[in-house]
Structure 1
């Protein structure tokens, strides 16, 4: 945003825009950069459409996106993957040579320790078939090539294209590749509130990070509130949904107001 404003001032200074010409529309929309406007998690039904669409037609175009879904890796981690690391997954190595987040300042890099679920194993087998030529070259000649030779922005553009094709709607602001981590972890926790399982998927060093990530306190509080409301205030809730038969329509009016 600062870069756009800087160039805008520079172009104005050199007379590209007339004095009376409105140029405010060229300035970035602040709402787009607001964290309050960014979507980090999409609804479950939409997300399932998105994933099923890619699962039904695995290709080298969407492979890095599915890699994010099945592994929980971040963008910078996914783009490190080479034929060597794919081969490590094929032979079920307990440690894969992918440097994790914030490891550059450490003396010893933290490498990826994948959890080989049945779903991940099926995906690895599909990847092995998709990249069988590259794997063959690696095994025979030790030729190691990057599988996803693209930039982070290109990866997001691919995600946007697939999202539109699969759901018929545009990719929400702020929902990038990292959205796989947030959405999957949220669905996992909602289905079975097991923080340790979610931690294993996200590969967090500390459980407290996972706790904040899935907003466990907020979700637990909401469930407790729902339970208390349903158990102890059934009669009160029932009143809100009753249509009065007093002939004057008073009850119906109240009911209409509540539903507005």
Structure 2
């Protein structure tokens, strides 16, 4: 039984504020991380050892340890990717990926996200398998779903946009947001998409359907997408915003326009 004060915590704002009790629960995989600070704190190898023991695959541990230790620039996200890749190299057992995908802890779900995304080479199949992770309840899994597909999206941009344009009509705000966030021309943590920096008009099939979205999560992404584009194609962004202002007078659209034009209006 997890104590209420653990389940209802807000998450530490700095490493010095982290609760040792919370860290213990995280490293045992008994709870999800509450924020990025906690996600960065999880000792993934400790958690992995516990999970491999549960799976009766403890003999795999050395392979994971070697892969993680061999990194020149280790980080939480790099460890997540390496562990996901190592699972892919060791097995294709669907029961194991299902176990990870449905784990209480978000961290194994992140491993599964990389495993699923990297297992497929064709963009249509890759996006199909990544969709459940793009819809995950946890922010970390949703972000890893972007990392796992970003390179393939860049390499197959037109086809990816065609597929993702259908996601904009999803009833799930996480899926709608993914369609936009994963194609941001610049973004924050991921590789830039030079083609969209130069030709942002290619993103219109993703942006137009969401210009007055009911979800702030989605609106933030649309506004940030346009703000990205404004750094290389300001005139185009001004034209889009002017058109949207005429087509939609909702407060939701006004919110997006303000966010989209914030660099231009500095």
Give the TM-score of the pair, scaled to structure 1: 0.25
Higher relative contact order (CA 8 A, sep 6+): 1
Q: TM-score, normalised by structure 2?
A: 0.24
Q: Name whichever structure is richer in helix by fraction.
A: 2
